[in-house]
C-alpha cells in the first residue's frame, strides 16, 4: 500500500513505525538511555562530524524520538520535526535559532501569556526588536514589514480571544520579503489545520494539549524543512534551551496521537454545542467561537480549518467578581489552565494564563478583562451544559 495515500487517521496510528522490525511490538520501544556507545573512537568521530548516522547523546535525539518526529512531520505535512520538552521549549528553541541581535520580529496583538512574556522580557533583552500589529489585517503587515523583519509570528485561533489569522494571505507577504512565518498551531493540531500547506514556514506546538490529550505530560514540537529543523536541534535546543523531551513523554504522545482524530471530532462537537447554548443565553454578553455564524471570521474558519475546534471564549453580562463567582460555582467543569484534556476546563485569562500582561497591555492586546476561556472536554454534552446552566443561575441578573 502506498503510504502517501493513507488518511490522517491511519497515519496518526502507523506512520514511521513497522512492528515487524521490533519483535512485533505494536508500540515503539522507548529508549531510556542518556548516551549511545560507539564501537571505536573513529566511529564516534564520524558520528560527531555528521559523516555517519549514529545516536550520540539524548539531548540530540533518540530512536523513539525519531519515530515520534517522523510521525509529527508527516501529520503536519512537513519535511522534518523536532520534539521538545514543552511548547515554550519549542517556541524558544525556534526563535533563538531564527533571530539575531538587530533583527525584528512582528507578532500579532494576541499571544499566549508566556509567549508574550518571552518576547517582551527575553528577546528584547538580547537586542531583538519586537513589534505587535493586527495580523488580521494583511495590509497592516504590508506596511509594517521591513528588511529587518526576520520572523512574523501568530497563533490562530489565538489564545485566549479566538482571533483568526489568514495564514495564506500573511504567508504571501512574508515570502515576498524573505521573512519566516511561524504559526503556533496548538489550538487546532494538524488534524484541523496545516499551516505549512497554507504557506507558513515553521509550525510550533504545545503537545501538552490535544496531542498528548490526557493532561499527563508537558511537551512541544516544531515542524519545518529539514535544514531549519536541524539548525533548531543543534543550535537552539542543544546549546541554548536544552529543552529535551523525556522518554516517557515520547511514549505518551505517540499513544495520544493514535486517538487524536476521534478526540478532536468530539472536542469540536462539544465546543459547538456549548457555544450555541451560551450564544442564546440572556446572561451572556458575547461568545467567541469560529463555528458560530456571526463570528466575524466564520468564513475564514471554514476555509482554513477542517472543523472549528474545541476552544471557545465568552463574556458574561457581569463584572469581574461576578464572572469569577460563576467559575467558582462550577461543579463538574474544573477551573484550571491548560486545554485539550478529556476534562472540560474553564479559566479567567486576566488572572491566570495571561496574567503576564499588565492591565494596560491586556487592553492594547485586545484581551478583555472579563473574558473567560473554556476548553471543551469529552464528557457527555448534557452533563457539561447542565453544569454551566446551574452556575449561570447563581449569577445575579
Ligand X SMILES: Cc1ncc(COP(=O)(O)O)c(C=O)c1O
Contact in structure between 58 and 35 (CB atoms under 8 Å): yes
Are 219 and 249 within 8 A, CB to CB?
yes
Query: Does 186 help bind ligand X (rule: CB under 6 A)?
Result: yes
Query: Angle 154-110-291 (CA atoms, 0-180°, nearest 5)?
Result: 80
Dist CA 327 CA 171 (whole Å): 39
Q: CA nearest 165: which of 173, 174, 155, 175?
A: 155
Residue nearest to ligand X (CB): 87
**What does the DSSP assignment read for 171-208?**
HHHHHHTTPEEEEE-TTTHHHH--GGGGT-SEEEEETT
List the Cα angle 373/378/384 in 5-degree steps.
Answer: 65
Q: Give 155 or 166: the residue with its C-beta nearer to ligand X.
A: 155
Concerning whether 184 is annotated as a catalytic residue, the answer is yes
In the complex, minimum distance from the CB of residue 311 to ligand X, in angstroms, rounded to a whole number: 9
Site for ligand X (CB under 6 A): which residue of 105, 218, 250, 318?
218
Residue 311 backbone dihedrals phi, psi, to 5 degrees? -110, 145
Catalytic residue (choose from 17, 112, 153, 357) = 112
Alpha carbon distance 56, 37 (integer Å) = 8
> Three-state DSSP class for 113?
helix
Give the separation between CA 150 and CA 163, rounded to whole angstroms. 23
Pairing of the two strands 202-206 and 149-155? unpaired
Q: Are 278 and 284 in contact (CB under 8 A)?
A: yes
CB of 375 to ligand X, least distance (A): 10
Is 285 annotated as catalytic?
A: no
Cis-peptide, bond into residue 273, ω within 30° of zero: no
Write down the catalytic residue from 184, 201, 341, 387. Answer: 184
Nine-digit cell string for 6: 493513507
Binder among 28, 195, 212, 220 for ligand X (CB under 6 A) = 220
159 binds ligand X (CB under 6 A): yes
112 given a catalytic annotation = yes
Residue 170 CB, shortest distance to ligand X, in Å, is: 17
Contact 362, 300 (CB under 8 A): no
User: C-beta of 166: minimal distance to ligand X in Å?
Assistant: 18
Minimal distance, residue 107 CB to ligand X, in Å: 12
CA 190 to chain centre: 10
Q: Which range binds ligand X by CB under 6 A, 75-83, 86-94, 141-149, 327-335? A: 86-94
Nearer to ligand X, 372 or 391 (CB): 372
**Stretch of 1-9, 23-31, 107-115, 344-352 contacting ligand X, by CB under 6 A:** 107-115
Please tell me which residue in 11, 71, 209, 373 is annotated as part of the active site: 209
110 binds ligand X (CB under 6 A): no
Cα(292)–Cα(288) distance, integer angstroms: 8
Asked if 103 is an active-site residue, the reply is no
Q: Which of 68, 72, 88, 274 binds ligand X (CB under 6 A)?
A: 88
Question: From the list 86, 161, 174, 297, which residue makes contact with ligand X (rule: CB under 6 A)?
Answer: 86
Residue in 92, 174, 189, 208 binding ligand X, rule: CB under 6 A: 208
Q: Verify binding: residue 184, ligand X, rule CB under 6 A.
A: yes
Cβ at position 112, least distance to ligand X in Å:
4
Candidates 69, 76, 104, 155; binder of ligand X (CB under 6 A) is 155
Active-site residue list = 59, 112, 184, 209
Q: Provide the binding-site residues for ligand X, judged by CB under 6 A.
A: 86-88, 112, 114-115, 155, 159, 184, 186, 206, 208, 218, 220
Amino acid at each position: 500500500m502506498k503510504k502517501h495515500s493513507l488518511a490522517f487517521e491511519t497515519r496518526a496510528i502507523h506512520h514511521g513505525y513497522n512492528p515487524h522490525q521490533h519483535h512485533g511490538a505494536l508500540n515503539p520501544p522507548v529508549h531510556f538511555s542518556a548516551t549511545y556507545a560507539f564501537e571505536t573512537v573513529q566511529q564516534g568521530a564520524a558520528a560527531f562530524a555528521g559523516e555517519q548516522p549514529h545516536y550520540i547523546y539524548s539531548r540530540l535525539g533518540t530512536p523513539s524520538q525519531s519515530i515520534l518526529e517522523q510521525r509529527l512531520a508527516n501529520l503536519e505535512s512537513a519535511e522534518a520535526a523536532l520534539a521538545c520538552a514543552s511548547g515554550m521549549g519549542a517556541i524558544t528553541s525556534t526563535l533563538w535559532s531564527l533571530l539575531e541581535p538587530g533583527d525584528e520580529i512582528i507578532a500579532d496583538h494576541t499571544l499566549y501569556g508566556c509567549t508574550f512574556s518571552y518576547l517582551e522580557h527575553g528577546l528584547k533583552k538580547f537586542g531583538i526588536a519586537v513589534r505587535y500589529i493586527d495580523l488580521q489585517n494583511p495590509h497592516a503587515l504590508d506596511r509594517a514589514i521591513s528588511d529587518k523583519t526576520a520572523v512574523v509570528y501568530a497563533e490562530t485561533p489565538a489564545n485566549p480571544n479566538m482571533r483568526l489569522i489568514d495564514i495564506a494571505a500573511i504567508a504571501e507577504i512574508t515570502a515576498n520579503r524573505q521573512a519566516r512565518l511561524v504559526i503556533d498551531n496548538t489550538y487546532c493540531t494538524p488534524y484541523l489545520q496545516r499551516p505549512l500547506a497554507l504557506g507558513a514556514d515553521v509550525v510550533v506546538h504545545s503537545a501538552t494539549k490535544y496531542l498528548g490529550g490526557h493532561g499527563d505530560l508537558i511537551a512541544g514540537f516544531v515542524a519545518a524543512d529539514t535544514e531549519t529543523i536541524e539548525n533548531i536541534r543543534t543550535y537552539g535546543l542543544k546549546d541554548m534551551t536544552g529543552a529535551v523531551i523525556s522518554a516517557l513523554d515520547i511514549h505518551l504522545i505517540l499513544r495520544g496521537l493514535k486517538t487524536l482524530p476521534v478526540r478532536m471530532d468530539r472536542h469540536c462537537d462539544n465546543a459547538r454545542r456549548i457555544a450555541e447554548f451560551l450564544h442564546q443565553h440572556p446572561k451572556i454578553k458575547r461568545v467567541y467561537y469560529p463555528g458560530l455564524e456571526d463570528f466575524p471570521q466564520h468564513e475564514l474558519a471554514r476555509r482554513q480549518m477542517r472543523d472549528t475546534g474545541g476552544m471557545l471564549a465568552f463574556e458574561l453580562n457581569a463584572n469581574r467578581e461576578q464572572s469569577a463567582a460563576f467559575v467558582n460555582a462550577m461543579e463538574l467543569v474544573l477551573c484550571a489552565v491548560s486545554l485539550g484534556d478529556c476534562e472540560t476546563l474553564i479559566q479567567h485569562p486576566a488572572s491566570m494564563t495571561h496574567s503576564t500582561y499588565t492591565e494596560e497591555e491586556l487592553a492594547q492586546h485586545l484581551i478583555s478583562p472579563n473574558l473567560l476561556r473554556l476548553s471543551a472536554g469529552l464528557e457527555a454534552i448534557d452533563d457539561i451544559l447542565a453544569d454551566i446552566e446551574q452556575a449561570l443561575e447563581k449569577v445575579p441578573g
